[in-house]
Structure 1
């Protein structure tokens, strides 16, 4: 089954008509920023969706995850399925309501990006300014990111999830 994309305005009309809005992002992403009324069903649990007789509109942040997984999303239900074109970013740009909870921590992957980037920068600066051995820090972080990309397991993300600021329950 082919899954169609909808503009934010068309998706809003369909949702107002009874369609379910499903956010396929991770729980930490949904807790920080979400479209009011969206149900969070992370992509890894998408097979648990039960829309009843309602159409489903799937969304992510930019639309890339939903497009990349369109076949899987369409197979998740017998109900008519659609993708919100451009995701929550396009929804926000269209001037539609988005709930932001700035009290929630940044998404884990953004934390990984900030931490990894900071460690690489520090390693390079210390390598040039103090001792060449500090370049090893940048190499270590780069190797860790390569390993994460190859295996799907990120040690830095696992460590960051255990930090005190990330122990809050998702809303």
Structure 2
């Protein structure tokens, strides 16, 4: 809100009043952040031809963000993804799943993903896995190395989506 007020040359209170209330202003700002996050993911997936490549590209993006967040002073190091999940996580998940569903369907048509796989459920799994790169500390993969992240995701992302029983 401060940045918006400064850019407009008005007080934060004026921004809040124009948007109805402080809570409404915050909700609008979070909605814009969520839209920007989804748009950024969409740019990355558009560069890749396969579902594994698309997921790997987004994982690299999230890991790079995580790395920047960790280098910030204490108190300012909460990543945007964590903020969005804390405040409106349901909507962020819905938007992200909607982004991935057509990608999963394309992967089904190309044979990368099994035809019996439910695209919505697979998309949710992909989103949950990708968001974990921001939330869970690494053990077996160096999240600071984009090549290692790409390989890690590329090697594993599609394995469970072939539609075959692994049990």
Structure with greater proportional strand content: 1
Q: Which has the larger radius of gyration?
A: 1
The structure showing larger relative contact order (alpha-carbon pairs under 8 Å, at least 6 residues apart) is 2
TM-score normalised according to structure 2 size? 0.29
